[in-house]
Amino acid sequence: PITRHYTFDVRMQNVTRLCHTKSMVTVNGKFPGPPLVAREGDRVVVKVVNRVQYNVSIHWHGIRQLQSQWSDGPAYITQCPIQTGQSYIYNFTIIGQRGTLFWHAHISWIRATLYGPMIILPKHGVSYPFAKPYKEIPILFGEWWNADIEAVISQALQNGGGPNVSDAYTLNGLPGPLYNCSQKETFKLKVKPRKTYLLRLINAALNDELFFSIANHSLTTVEADALYVKPFKADILLIGPGQTTNVLLKTKRTPPNGRFLMAARSYNTGLGTFDNTTTAGLLEYEGISKSSPLIRPTLPAINDTSYAANFSSKFRSLNKPQVPQTVDKSFFFTVGLGSSPCPKNQTCQGPNGTKFAASVNNISFAMPSTAILQSYYSRKSNGVFTTDFPSRPLIPFNYTGTSPNNTMVMNGTKAVVLPFNTSVELIMQDTSILGAESHPLHLHGYNFYVLGQGFGNFDPKKDPANYNLVDPVERNTVGVPSGGWVAIRFFADNPGAWFMHCHFEVHLSWGLKMVWIVLDGKQPNQKLPPPPADLPKC
Ligand code: C2O
């Protein structure tokens, strides 16, 4: 193992897409940001220097941060943001993980432009559980706004409505040929026949789950969220924000006559706002003529929930996983959108006193003004957060009931406290009252096992009988199905303060987030280490 040093200069850069040029926040002037490459076991040291007028912080999405809790990155959870002119050194060792992850800003909506791939190779001498690919290609999905993105979200939060949707999805930062004024901005993958390519797919989009497919080529999924899965074939993938998927692409025996579009567009069951635009790149065999026909893939309908559910059910852990077979603490969380009471002459409970909000168990998480991990470490939680996050919704939830109104929201900065090594079961139920939405829920500091999912009300009498306790997929982000539920389990073996939230940036802004505090264990390596000297101050 070695130490890999990086400097991330956060600075403004002019970038042009869709014939609009704007000055935006970048790392080292690049969009998407530079790849971070390491091997399992390596130490990664990234000096982040803030040269922009915004506060920033960077999260290493999916890295467990064992013994490096202060490097996780979410602003006001594990650290105060890095202020203009300041810097902070993220320093972590990659323990027991290899695969594709990504890094992104974790404050306000800065991650719209501040993200890049994280590629963790296996240890020297350790091979993949599949034949060595000829080439490995990161493919990052994102979104492009012609407008200034911080203005978009702050306006939406002030007015209390939904923010404007993006002007394009992007593939490796490029909208591609299906958008106006974007012909030149197309990602091209040049391939040779009879080869296997490993595509490292990363959904860094802000607000959309995406279907992805390559015309006339089938893909074999081999990994999800940097954990190997039993390989399975699927021509169309679904990938939620915060999820990463490695797929193998086998090229044809002889170069076919054609140029093949690889395309991604939204999966969205929402009632009002949907955006059926498509980002695309090109797969081209070497030596093929520019005039050969352009072949498009077929993607499912924008609201094809049965394709989505069927695809999600295909994932299985490759290696025999250590699934918690018994449960110490079980939780039932409703996740969804709602509207807060706005009593006369009092402010509403949504963000910035607005009516519209999102919540977990009816609580819309209010960001504290100093980092939760710091106040927990110094045992001075006074006023920063409370430890009474409920294990059940405040109002019992029932899809078929007539009276329960589960859209009620109250405000709070609440955490759940777990003793070290608690075996946790968590059912997340989508409330789906204001528009059907599925929610990609992401847990920091952990991977978890996905034991089961379904539609309608979770039934505590019947559904657990169908749990997969043998080879469930392990991941860090799971889609809570639109109008349904998902059951997960994990061992709370990583002490610290860990954010859990919907990876739709708009739901994150509206409060669909909460914090788990995991207490120290008895061994020295089971204790939260002291904060580094350069930890930013609020
Ligand atoms: Cu990828 Cu809390 O985020």
Separation of 333 CA from ligand 1 center, angstroms?
19
Distance 60 CA to ligand 1 centre (A): 8
Q: Are 199 and 137 in contact (CB under 8 A)?
A: yes
Q: Which residues pair with 126 in a beta bridge?
A: none
240 Cβ closer than 6 Å to some ligand 1 atom: no
Extract the tokens encoding 322. Answer: 């250590």
Half-sphere exposure of 267 (CA within 13 A, CB side): 28
CA atoms within 13 Å, Cβ hemisphere of 448: 24
**Dihedral (Cα; 259, 202, 267, 462), 10-degree rounding:** 130
Which ligand 1 atom sits nearest the alpha carbon of residue 444?
2
Main-chain dihedrals φ then ψ at residue 156, nearest 5 degrees: -60, -40
Residue 111 Cβ < 6 Å to ligand 1 = no
Q: Which atom in ligand 1 lies closest to the alpha carbon of residue 477?
A: 1
Sheet holding 474-475, edge to edge: 410-412, 363-365, 356-360, 329-339, 423-430, 484-491, 448-455, 474-475
444 lines ligand 1 (CB under 6 A): yes
* CA 330 – CA 489 distance, rounded (Å): 9
Check pocket membership of 104 for ligand 1, CB cut-off 6 A.
yes
Q: Are 36 and 119 in contact (CB under 8 A)?
A: yes
Q: Is 496 left (phi over 0), alpha (psi -120 to 50) or beta?
A: left
CA 62 to ligand 1: nearest atom: 1
- Enter the CATH code of domain 3-121: 2.60.40.420
Using DSSP, state whether 6 is helix, strand or coil.
strand
Q: Is 99 helix (H, G, I), strand (E, B) or coil?
A: strand
CA of residue 287 to ligand 1 center, whole Å = 41
* Extended strands (E) in 184-243: 188-191, 196-203, 209-214, 219-224, 227-234, 236-239
- Name the β-bridge partners of 229: 317
499 alpha-carbon distance from chain centroid: 12
Q: According to the model, what pLDDT value does residue 501 have?
A: 98
SS3 224: strand
Q: Which residues are paired to 516 by β-bridges? A: 416, 498
User: Of all atoms in ligand 1, which is nearest to the CA of residue 508?
Assistant: 2
Distance 75 CA to ligand 1 centre (A): 11
> In this structure, which CATH number among 3.40.630.30, 3.30.70.150, 2.60.40.420, 3.40.50.150 belongs to the domain 329-526?
2.60.40.420
Name the residue among 149, 205, 148, 133 with its Cα closest to residue 172.
205
Q: From residue 167, how far is each of 378, 450, 505 by CA, in Å?
A: 45, 34, 16
Q: What is the DSSP string of 153-192?
A: HHHHHHHTSPPPPPSEEEETTB--TTSTT-TT---EEEE-
What is the pLDDT, as a whole number, of residue 403? Answer: 44
Spell out where 410-457 has E strands: 410-412, 415-418, 423-430, 439-443, 448-455
Whether residue 145 has its Cβ less than 6 Å from ligand 1 = no
Tell which atom from ligand 1 comes closest to the C-alpha of 242.
1
Rounded distance from Cα 506 to ligand 1 centre (Å): 13
Between the CA of 499 and the centroid of ligand 1 the distance, in Å, is 8
Q: Which residues pair with 278 in a beta bridge?
A: 265
CATH class of 135-312: mainly beta
CB of 466 within 8 A of CB of 487?
no
What mean pLDDT is reported for the chain?
A: 92
The domain ranges of the chain are 3-121, 135-312, 329-526
Q: How far is the CA of 259 from the centre of ligand 1 (A)?
A: 36
Nearest CA to ligand 1 atom 3: 61
Q: Report pLDDT for 398.
A: 79
Cis peptide before 32 (omega within 30 of 0): yes
Residue type at 387 in one-letter notation: T
d(CA 417, CA 386): 10
- Given its phi and psi angles, is residue 158 left (phi above 0), alpha (psi -120 to 50 degrees) or beta? alpha
Question: How many angstroms separate the alpha carbon of residue 444 from the centre of ligand 1?
Answer: 7
* Ligand 1 close to Cβ of residue 489 (< 6 A): no
Whether the CB of 501 sits within 6 Å of ligand 1: yes
What tokens were used for 371? 């980092």
Rounded to whole angstroms, the Cα distance separating 132 from 351 reads: 49
The residues, any chain, with a CB within 8 Å of residue 229's CB and separated by 6 or more, are 221, 222, 223, 315, 316, 317, 318, 473
Same topology for domains 3-121 and 329-526, yes or no? yes
How does pLDDT run across 62-79, given as a tens digit for each residue? 999 999 999 999 999 999
Phi, psi of 269 (to 5 degrees): -100, 10
Cα 61 to ligand 1 centroid, rounded to whole Å? 6
Residue 278 contacts residue 169 (beta carbons within 8 Å)? yes
CA distances for 154 relative to 111, 163, 506, angstroms: 15, 9, 11
Rounded distance between C-alpha atoms, residue 357 and residue 411, angstroms: 9
Q: What end-to-end distance do the CA atoms of the chain give, in Å?
A: 35
Q: Which two tokens stand for residue 464?
A: 């657990």
* Cα of 408 from ligand 1 centre, angstroms: 26
Q: Give the pLDDT of residue 352.
A: 61
Q: Find all residues with CB under 8 Å of 387, minimum gap 6, and list them.
A: 381, 414, 415, 416, 417, 517
Q: Does ligand 1 come within 6 angstroms of the Cβ of 59?
A: yes
Distance of CA 158 to the CA centre of its chain: 25
The radius of gyration computed from the CA coordinates of the chain, to the nearest angstrom, equals 22
Please report which helix (H) or strand (E) contains residue 506, including its range: helix 505-510
Low-confidence ranges of the chain (pLDDT < 70): 269-276, 339-355, 381, 400-407, 432-437
Q: Is the CB of 442 under 6 A from ligand 1?
A: yes
Q: How far is the CA of 254 from the centre of ligand 1 (A)?
A: 42
